[in-house]
Chains A and B, each alone.
Chain A
Amino acid sequence: MAGTTGSQRVPFLVLRFMRRPILLLTMVYATSMIGWAVIPGPEQRPDPMGFFHSFYFLTYTATTTGFGELPHGFSEAQRMWAIVSLYAGVVAWLYALGAIIRLIQNRHFQAALAERRFARDVRRLAEPFVIVCGFGNRGSLLVRGLSDAGLAAVIIDRDPDRINAVHLRDYRIPTPALVSDARVPDRLAEAGLLRSNCRAVVALTDNEEVNAKVAVTACLLNPEARVVAQLTRDVHEETLATLGADIHLIDPFHTFARHLAATIRNPAVHMLYEWLVGAPNANLAMYADVPRGNWIVCGFGRMGHAMQDAFERLGIPVVVVDPNIAPDQAGPKVIAGHASQRTLKAAGIDRAAGIVAGTNSDADNLSIVLNARALNPGIFVIVRQNRHRNRALFDAAAADLIMQPTLVSARRVLFLLIAPLLKTFFEQVRESQVQARDAFLMDVITQLHDVVGGDVRPRLWTMRIGDETPAALARLRAEGCRITLADVLRDPAARDRRLPCVPLVLRAGDGWREVMPPLSHVLSAGDQVLLCGQEHVPHVLQATLENDYTLRYLMTGIDAPRGWVMQWLLRRFPRLQPAAAP
């Protein structure tokens, strides 16, 4: 029912709570005034008080101040009536005030007020925003990432504690948040699902049923919005595929397993990922060597199947150690038992290139790291960190890579939202041939390292070329200029230098995609370019693309005269023409 939205419920609740007190007040006032209208005054002015004067008397005595007997002195009968009407008035007012206080303390009323505030905050959002359902570990990581990228978020969670936590964070973006059940379509509508600046809906609650419901609701109500839902792939994929919209499923185990497998294949993948997301200690100069050879994977629990698939597809020789393996499955490649020194030796740790400590217990994982280092000091160690609060322990354990499953999937969602073209990039990495992939990755990393810088915090953003925007680019294109990526990526301060920025993916107007596009690409309307560069580059690039003179200078190397006088002079005397910079 539409009448249940918070903004409409507030006046209704007020009326329902205040109906009786207001009725009582009216009755008391009316009775008093009727009394005043008939009781005669003192001898000098025997007429009774009029309605106006009696209301005036009741009004100023209601505050219990009282100015005395106004406008004239009272008769004894009037004084008796004054006593009656004043006590009755005080009781009626106490009752009304009590009702107001009860209303304010009422849980439903507070919820309705919160909902009304929330709806107002959402209405005020003029910028593009993302609806995030579920503010758990992944949700809060995601919102932090969105805040860094400057994309507003509307948050829905069932847990009031989590919603209170939202208000205590120092986000740089507006984050309206509401305690509510995301399954109710009206709540999603209130969160702004139907608005044109709603870019995406992300369902990250712990309950898959809720996520599926949110995904379906979002697809049906706003086909324009991108939908990202955390769901087990095999169960829901077919159902949601029939909706045919822009849906992305995030299966945390699947995502983590695939990411882990890609990392085992070439640790640079993980490092590049960490660096792109701006993780504090990511550095492109590290992990340039790919350890070759056998890997040992300890812990084959919930994500076992996803892992096995991923390894097989990549053709990585793996020995698995896990206590929950049935004896009949055990063999030289699958060892049953806890990862102790004995089982690790049986798995061939002295010859292994790397080891993954991937159980769902942080204590086990740490002891695996220590054991592995003791048995084979040179081994490459990847450790899975399950709880964020154990960070100090993991930092001290000196693993080569620390992977947090929640972080991996939260970042994948973040990239889907702020840099959708990045998916194309990693797909290309995944699908290319083994040899080509390593070479390609090294090439990309070397370029990023040399151009952007290995230890800076990079920024990812998408440059969109429209028919009319950016203004200067559009004007010059209309004049028939061929403007290439290389032109716009020159540094306006020194034309022969390049901005610290690398184009990662190009999506042309006709849908054609190219990873690491050549700088000689001629920009045309409909192009989208995913760029990765230093923090200040987007501003510089924007300024270039909006300023005809700068853009022309970058293209030709000639600072063309701006004023009419100089333009005329140069036409008249071409000898004065400034020489083109190199």
Chain B
Amino acid sequence: MNLEKVVFGFFLILALTLNVGFVIGDIDNPAHHPVAEFFFVVVVNIIATILKLGDRSQIGALLLATSLVAVLQLVVAAVIWTHAVHVSEHGMTPDTMVDIVSLASGALVANIVSVTVLVAETLMMRR
């Protein structure tokens, strides 16, 4: 057993599960997409990205790239959310929620790729 693999796998899979939990629900219904869950999705994704820094192998580079994609999409979603609630005079509308959830769905795809690559690499090592 390898401590790094445990920590690494934990954060990668947690990022995926939280992301799924956030995205599920009616796409335009703000009540189905709690802000707290979104906060954790962003934080866990950023942690997973930081953990990937420094790996010089090919697989490591691929994992880092997918994580960066996920974080980028989530950060954009967060900016839209903040703007809607604090800056815009309309507040959170269904249209804005659709934008946020579709960006988070994109991040979900990146997270699925990450976990798939992680599992594939572990299976290939066979130890």
**Using a CB–CB distance below 8 Å, which chain A residues touch chain B?**
492-495, 547-549, 559, 561-567, 576, 578
Shortest Cβ gap from A415 to chain B (Å): 34
Which residues of chain B are within 8 angstroms of A494 by Cβ–Cβ distance? 126-127
A210 to B4, CA, bound (A): 66
* CB <8 Å contact, B4 and A566: yes
Shortest Cβ gap from A80 to chain B (Å): 80
Shortest Cβ gap from B100 to chain A (Å): 29
* CB <8 Å contact, A493 and B127: yes
| Residue among A492, A548, A565, A578 making CB contact with B2, cutoff 8 Å | A578
* CB <8 Å contact, A564 and B126: no
| Residue among B3, B53, B55, B127 making CB contact with A576, cutoff 8 Å | B3
Which residues of chain A are within 8 angstroms of B52 by Cβ–Cβ distance? 563
Contact with A along B52-69 (1 / 0, CB 8 A): 111111001000000000
Q: What are 8 contact pairs spanning A and B, CB under 8 A?
A: A495-B127, A559-B2, A563-B8, A563-B52, A563-B53, A563-B55, A565-B54, A566-B51
A492 to B5, CA, bound (A): 17
A561 to B2, CA, bound (A): 9
**Is B7 close to A, CB under 8 A?**
yes
| Residue among B3, B7, B54 making CB contact with A564, cutoff 8 Å | B54
| Residue among A495, A548, A549, A564 making CB contact with B53, cutoff 8 Å | A564
Instruction: Known contacts A576-B3, A578-B2, A578-B3; decide if A562 and B127 are in contact (CB<8 Å).
Output: no
Within 8 A of A (CB), among B106-127: 125-127
A564 to B53, CA, bound (A): 6
Number of contact residues on B: which range applies?
10 to 19
Which residues of chain B are within 8 angstroms of A565 by Cβ–Cβ distance? 50-51, 53-54
Which residues of chain A are within 8 angstroms of B2 by Cβ–Cβ distance? 559, 578
A563 to B4, CA, bound (A): 8
Most buried by B among A494, A547, A566: A566
Within 8 A of A (CB), among B1-56: 1-5, 7-8, 50-56
Most buried by A among B4, B51, B52: B4
A200 to B126, CA, bound (A): 41
Which residues of chain A are within 8 angstroms of B1 by Cβ–Cβ distance? 578
* CB <8 Å contact, A566 and B127: no
Residue of A nearest to B126 (CB): A493
Contact with A along B62-97 (1 / 0, CB 8 A): 000000000000000000000000000000000000
Shortest Cβ gap from B54 to chain A (Å): 4
Which residues of chain A are within 8 angstroms of B3 by Cβ–Cβ distance? 561, 566, 576, 578
Shortest Cβ gap from B45 to chain A (Å): 15
Residue of A nearest to B52 (CB): A563
* CB <8 Å contact, A567 and B54: yes
Most buried by A among B5, B7, B55, B127: B127
Q: Lowest 3 A-B CB distances belong to which pairs? A: A564-B54, A562-B55, A493-B126
With A493-B125, A562-B4 known, 9 other A-B pairs at CB within 8 A are: A492-B125, A493-B126, A494-B127, A559-B2, A559-B4, A561-B4, A563-B4, A563-B50, A566-B3
A567 to B50, CA, bound (A): 12
A375 to B125, CA, bound (A): 60
